[in-house]
Amino acid sequence: MDINGIREQFPILQRKVKGKDLIYLDNTATSQTPMRVVDAITRMYTTTKANVHRGVSSISQEATDLQETTRRRMARWLNAASEEEIIFTRGTTESINLVASSFGSMLEDGDEIILTVMEHHANIVPWQLLRSRRNITLRVVPINEAGELDLDVYRSLFNERTRLVSVCHVSNVLGTVNPVKDMIATAHAAGVPVLIDGAQAVPHLKVDVTDLDADFYAFSSHKMYGPTGIGVLYGKKKWLEKMPPYQGGGEMIANVTFEHTTFAELPFKFEAGTPDFVGIAALDKALDFIDEIGYDNIEAHEHHLLTYTTERLMRIPGMRIFGTAPGKSAVISFLIGHEHHYDIGMLLDTQGIEVRTGHHCAQPLMRALGVEGTVRASFAVYNTIEEADKFIAAVQRVAAMLE
Ligand code: PLP
């Protein structure tokens, strides 16, 4: 893998923070964006900006083609049955809210949904909002010491009122890669559909929604080298056809009168209003970036960074790493003794190292781990062993300072 060639595509990696070379290790929150994506955005704003799906004018048709090219590509990329199953949203959060609102409206009092304790707030709060409208029950799968789901408990939670499982593919705190294919098979055996929150999976591993047999799969463009403000909801046609629209407005209708409105076909039924068609068009270039490197190379490189760094951090007295599941993703959440995560993060920042501190939008998980927050370092394909070395040395210095 030509790591220098990859890094050259990301101008931000050349910048300084507090006079030091930037070492960007907050890729779980958002990844950086290669120039080809930025160029595609600029090109579209300067040459091809007209609203999509609005009639016969040339530029509008060109813009529509660019948007729909990404949709077709995304369908192939995820191995979806058809492009009608690809809905563009604002992000993982909106994708999950769409399902909670629309699929959720078909639930009845007494129905149950299975979640896990390691979910991001984006996969907790929408279901709680639904619970404030329907008297549903949320069942929660716990984790073991290593940060793996307790699958015995998972299997025991199904009953005749279970209507949905909603679980993350990869934990944004622990890095655990959940056995979602098996979990989906278990749910389907009980006649229950499954939503997978793939926000932390798609940037790092190949996802095939047909092989997984996922009913819904949600993720964000900005975490996978694409533009901000765009998400994808994959949904099986059989569900999307049954589900009512999420939002009302332009684009999502077939015919409107004051008495009655009929809705557009899939996927447009779920895409009210003007989408971020510029960003959607540019997302295609992020897929080029990933495809050029290949997931095998991405996984191997990130795994090397993870094992190299974890091994060395573990030698630091008082080091506590949260999430040690085999095959985990390249996310390291840690604390040093009982030092506050915020102090560790501040001291790392003075050395040019961007990590994340806090609860990582996973407060129930923090409670289960018995901590208020952690420091989280997360890798992307452009990170290097030299950066890992600098990060390890910086953590060693911080540990010595706080001793
Ligand atoms: N789900 C997981 C597992 C995440 O890590 C995140 C973001 O960090 C989200 C959902 C929410 O993503 P977004 O803010 O892009 O909607």
pLDDT at 403: 81
Whether the full predicted model's pTM is greater than 0.75, yes or no, is: yes
Ligand 1 pocket residue status of 224, Cβ below 6 Å? no
pLDDT the model gives residue 298:
98
Helix (H, G, I), strand (E, B) or coil at 172: coil
Ranges of the chain with pLDDT below 50:
none
Options 125, 138, 264, 361, the catalytic residue: 361
Burial class (CB in 10 A: 0-12, 13-18, 19+), 352: buried
Q: Give CA–CA dist 370/372, Å, rounded.
A: 7
361 is catalytic: yes
Instruction: Give pLDDT, residue 56.
Output: 86
Span from the CA of 110 to the centroid of ligand 1 (angstroms): 28
Residue 12 is predicted with a pLDDT of 98
Dist CA 388 CA 403 (whole Å): 22
Assess whether the C-beta atom of 176 lies below 6 angstroms from ligand 1: no
Ligand 1 pocket mutation pick from 95, 120, 166, 222 by most atoms within 8 angstroms of CB: 120
Closest-CA residue, ligand 1 atom 4, reads 199
The residue whose CA has the least distance to atom 6 of ligand 1 is: 199
Q: What is the pLDDT of residue 54?
A: 77
Give residue 120 CA to ligand 1 midpoint distance, Å.
7
* Distance from the alpha carbon of residue 122 to the mean position of ligand 1, in angstroms: 6
User: What's residue 258's pLDDT?
Assistant: 96
Structure tokens at 131: 């619970």
Look at strands 194-197 and 137-141 and give their pairing: unpaired
Q: pLDDT by residue (tens digit) across 333-343?
A: 999 999 999 99
Q: What is residue 217's predicted lDDT score, i.e. its pLDDT?
A: 99
Give the pLDDT confidence score for residue 1 in this predicted structure. Answer: 87
